Chain A
């Protein structure tokens, strides 16, 4: 499945939340309203910079009930993959961009007795779309946001509209000061935990939860791509009969798309599994959160959106 038919949106407003954080508001180009997005949903933006085409997925942070606009928050990262820095530096209000329908790979579980949300840094974004939904449902929840000291006030401001009487905490002291095991150990039966943030945080939540007896089905991760850079390599696309060169700061998926080959994808962050492609030859350096340890060891699949080749060349069935 590739993302649904794209449509055009106009940039309505850009707000600088912090030096590296901007909120972009989009509205439909031809007036009217957007479809109701799922809570925790995200959109795929296609950004064009000259001949270069970048596709990035961003969580919607506007409430699902808000259909006149879609908001996203984008962090400008030093070694940006292009999309985020393009949005930060080149996109201005009034510009028209191509967006694909919101999909949710990170849904709220309706049978949960309690929702425990853990965000790390920009991983706050899907949480921001969950909060109004949880409030509207009258659901029991608790949110812990990890941030750098400088960004604590930014996140506190973003969370303020939902904070009244709720268990919402922003931790600025780094991971060491955050008692993850204690938090997970005291959750009532029927709790589901949702974590979004750097790979290391998601791994820590998953492994701590497992050690405390949480079933896998109650631990939900949404990754943020993380680092996709690495040594360049060559990928042979067997079915398409072409070879692509994957650059240092480019993902395999981006290289495939740049060559004009349609490849399946959805989250572009190693979480959804859509881009799984059979690996025919060569070894993969797995960086996704989708394949199990056994599947990674078996080495027969590669997630093109985040994973790379371990050697100079791989052959994939695409």
Chain B
């Protein structure tokens, strides 16, 4: 019982440069490209890489070489996103955009990519880092951090919640919906999903 069919949700897989693309830009939510984000045999230098160091020492305007193998370091995700928006606005057809990070980061990248007119075929995403979810109970509005199972009990109202794949960007959380709304007490086994 998992609604993976969500249209707006990116799919995740280890990254490899798409040979049909002309430029390859990889944005990462970490200081380095995590090895597990790349497919076997793929090296980070195949991409132009943007990373986030989360340090104030990073120069405020990263050197932009816009070539494979070049690395630009940003001081925050916000900083990276504003540069990404500016870059996408002046990019030409042929760009492939790749992202590696936790799910909310990937969603934010996809949102900006879609706004710039990129399609699924021109983007690829690798989910790395903690997969535990932040859940918003649609019934009592309690937010629970670090949920790793498909079904859990809401600490706010005690309902058995099914964790949907629907991520609210506004709340930066996944939606939890009561599973036994129709037949109270009929709660399927919880599966460990997002460890």
Contacts and interface: CB of A to CB of B under 8 A. Distances in A.
Contacts of B22: 212-213
Contacts of B119: 215, 217-218
Interface in A128-185: 184-185
Report the 9 A-B pairs with minimum CB-CB distance, sorted nearest first. A190-B117, A213-B94, A213-B22, A113-B117, A215-B121, A213-B21, A187-B93, A189-B117, A189-B91
Q: At the interface, is chain B mostly helix, strand, loop or mixed?
A: loop
Interface string B74-110: 0000000000000010111111100000000000000
A210 B116 contact: no
Interface string B19-32: 01111000000000
Contacts of A111: 117
Contacts of B172: none
Contact of A213 (B90, B96, B116, B117): B96
Interface string B115-129: 011110110000000
A186 interface: yes
B20 A210 contact: yes
The CB with the most chain B CB atoms within 10 A, among A187, A188, A209, A218, is that of A188
8 contacts: A114-B117, A187-B93, A189-B95, A189-B118, A213-B21, A214-B94, A217-B119, A218-B119
Contacts of A185: 92-94
Interface of A: 111-114, 184-191, 209-210, 212-218
B118 to A, nearest CB: 6
Contacts of A216: 121
A189 B88 contact: yes
A184 B122 CA distance: 16
Given A189-B116, A189-B117, A189-B118, A218 B93 contact: yes
Given A213-B23, A215-B121, A187 B116 contact: no
Contacts of A184: 93
Nearest to A210: B20
A161 B122 CA distance: 36
A218 B117 CA distance: 11
Interface string B130-146: 00000000000000000
B104 to A, nearest CB: 23
A230 to B, nearest CB: 34
Nearest to A190: B117
The CB with the most chain B CB atoms within 10 A, among A186, A187, A189, A217, is that of A189
Contacts of A114: 117
A217 B121 contact: yes
Contacts of A113: 116-117
Contacts of A187: 92-93
Nearest to B96: A213
A161 B159 CA distance: 63
Nearest to B97: A189
B20 A215 contact: yes
The CB with the most chain B CB atoms within 10 A, among A185, A188, A215, is that of A215
Contact of A191 (B23, B88, B117): B117
A213 B21 CA distance: 4
A191 B118 CA distance: 9
A283 to B, nearest CB: 31
A229 to B, nearest CB: 35
A213 B91 CA distance: 12
Nearest to A116: B93
The CB with the most chain B CB atoms within 10 A, among A187, A190, A209, is that of A190
B122 A215 contact: yes
Contacts of A186: 92
Contacts of A189: 88, 91-93, 95, 116-118
B93 A188 contact: yes
Contacts of A188: 90-93, 117
